[in-house]
Amino acid sequence: MAEEIVDYNIETEDEFEKQLNAYNDFIEAFIENFQTDLYASGIINHITPEDLQKYFRNPDKNVEMLSKVTEYFYISTGEVHMLFELLESLPTLKYKIESWDQPDNHEKHIAMINKTLHKVKHKRLTRDVLKQTAADGTLVGIWLGNKNNIYPYIFDSPKYAFPAYRKNGEWVVHFDLEYIDKRFKEFGKKVFFENLSPYITEQHYQRYMKTRSEEDQYVELPQNRTFVVNTHTLKRNQGLGTGWANSALFDILHKRKLKNVEQSIANKIINAIAILTIGSEKNEKYANLALGKSVKRKVLAGVKKALEKSKDGNVPVVGIPEFAKLEFPDVKADGLDGKKFDHVNLDIQTGIGVSSAMINGTSGNSATSRLNLDVLYKRIGVLLENIETDMYQKMINLILPKGQKDNYYLVYDKQQPLTTKEKVDILSKLNDKGWSVKALVDNISDINWENYLEQTLYETEELKLQSRLIPYKSTHTISSNDGAGAPEKPDDELSDEGEKTRTGDKNNI
């Protein structure tokens, strides 16, 4: 069968090219568009949910990136910021030193422990450990120096100093020498080796740079000096934990998206364009093309002048011909409804574990706020337990004689502290029973115990005010010896009923 020939009526290639160009011009007339950032002003592109999903799939590998994300939201998000501020400020860090038995030098050992805790500034150190552990999920450190000059070194990231495995029930920490080049410059390397010597030295680093072997890449740090504090782990042998803010990050991103919608609508309202139509569609005589340029300019200038005067608070009055029309678009602001944020705010607060009732006193009462505060204290108490057993226990063992290993231990106060009023009420009841008054006075602000005692002795012993200033008699101070009560009547004035009551004869009737 012969192939059918179709005639397109195209005589030359030039004519075909002309028709093709005309077709392209026709298509472009319908798809022509433009882009503008008029309504995107003020909108910031943050980390995407897809990025978070990638980080959460392998949190051990992305521990540094998750730490940076948490630090970013700590600076930019109020809920995350308040979480870490409460974590730092709530614990009183009052402690006591306990022991399983008391040797001959018991008081000396207690004094040495207290002195060392004061020297290492244990309150500031513990607060820093709490915040860094909650931010990164894992904190690794080492005690340096000797028992007379011991001090802690906290590694900035568990990426290069991490718990590798357990040995005899406790973590063994490895340090990755490859990270030194990424972390420090030449001067920083020198300072680092001076601090960590002899546990991490320049010789370790130079040997690894020559061999580049995995055997030389990791340095095992001494187990009796290193400590690991982690949180949010599901398994006992899970060395790296996760930060306290991670569970709320998706909800925080969703809230940022809602804020972007608000910003876009606000920009649309602010940048709303007034439309001035000049020309009549009904009367060809006054059509836009039939009007002269001077007429159009005059109408436009009058409208512009009237609108500019409205900025001063005046009411503009403008007269425009019938062939002109001024319109202001009606911009809907449904996206500015604050109720849209209620649910996402609740999700964020649930994720970080701090309610708005405790942060700013909204969406709750005193009872719910106190309950949430009690839960937060218990969460902090779990971290403090790790700090006691894994961090300060090793410090105590290093400064005391070897024979006292694990005999002494530190215990932080983990309970929610009483209010000043509660303390004063309890101490007042004890004072009424003869207990010391000093503790009561110490809980009253702006009153010094020594001055208070000195003034009391002066008033009682020198001025003798207690004997000179006798209080007025009242039902609280008067007694029967002072003639209190109704006067007794003589026996001859008593009635028969009164006589029977006085002598008790009435009961015998």
Per-residue model confidence as pLDDT tens digits over 398-420 = 999 999 999 999 999 998 888 88
Report which residue type is found at 349: Q
Q: Collapse the DSSP code of 480 into the 3-class scheme (helix H, G, I; strand E, B; otherwise coil) and give the result.
A: helix
- Other C-beta atoms closer than 10 Å to the C-beta of 138 total 28
Closest by alpha carbon to 387, among 87, 110, 105? 87
Segment (H or E) for 219: strand 218-220
pLDDT (tens place) for every residue of the chain, 509 residues total: 444 544 545 556 677 677 767 666 666 555 555 555 655 666 666 778 888 888 889 988 999 899 999 998 899 888 899 999 999 999 999 999 999 999 989 999 999 999 999 999 999 999 999 999 999 999 999 999 998 999 999 999 999 999 999 999 999 999 999 988 888 888 888 999 999 999 999 999 999 999 999 889 999 999 999 999 999 999 999 999 999 999 888 888 877 777 777 777 777 766 667 777 877 777 777 777 777 788 878 888 887 877 777 666 666 666 667 677 777 777 666 655 656 667 777 778 788 888 777 777 676 777 778 888 888 999 999 999 999 999 999 999 999 999 999 999 999 999 888 888 888 888 888 888 888 888 888 888 788 888 888 888 888 888 888 788 776 766 655 666 655 555 665 555 555 555 555 555 555 54
Each as own residue / partner, the long-range contacts of residues 297-303 (CB below 8 Å, 24 or more positions apart, any chain) are 299/324, 300/276, 303/276
Neighbour tally for 80: CB within 10 Å: 26
- Nearest-angstrom CA–CA distance, 201 and 194: 8
Residues 6+ apart with CB under 8 A from 385: 414
- Write the single-letter amino acid at 384: L
pLDDT tens profile 2-38: 445 445 455 566 776 777 676 666 665 555 555 556 5
φ/ψ of residue 167, rounded to 5: -135, 120
Enumerate the β-bridge partners of residue 324: 278
Looking at residue 152, its amino acid is P
Q: How many helices, marked H, and strands, marked E, lie in the chain? A: 21, 10
Q: How far apart (Å, rounded) are the C-alpha atoms in residues 402 and 51?
A: 51
The C-alpha angle with vertex 63 and arms to 58 and 64, in degrees rounded to 5, equals 135
Q: What is the DSSP string of 157-203?
A: -TTTEEEEEEETTEEEEEEETTHHHHH--HHHHHHHHHHHTTTS-HH
Instruction: Write the single-letter amino acid at 507.
Output: N
Do 201 and 229 meet the contact criterion of CB atoms below 8 Å apart? no
Q: What is the pTM of this model?
A: 0.72
Q: Where are the domains of the chain?
A: 49-245+374-412, 253-336, 420-482
pLDDT digits (tens, 9 = 90+) for 287-296: 777 777 888 7
* Percent of the chain with pLDDT strictly greater than 70: 77
What residues have CB less than 8 Å from 304, skipping those under 6 apart? none
**8 A C-beta contact, residue 223 and residue 166:** no
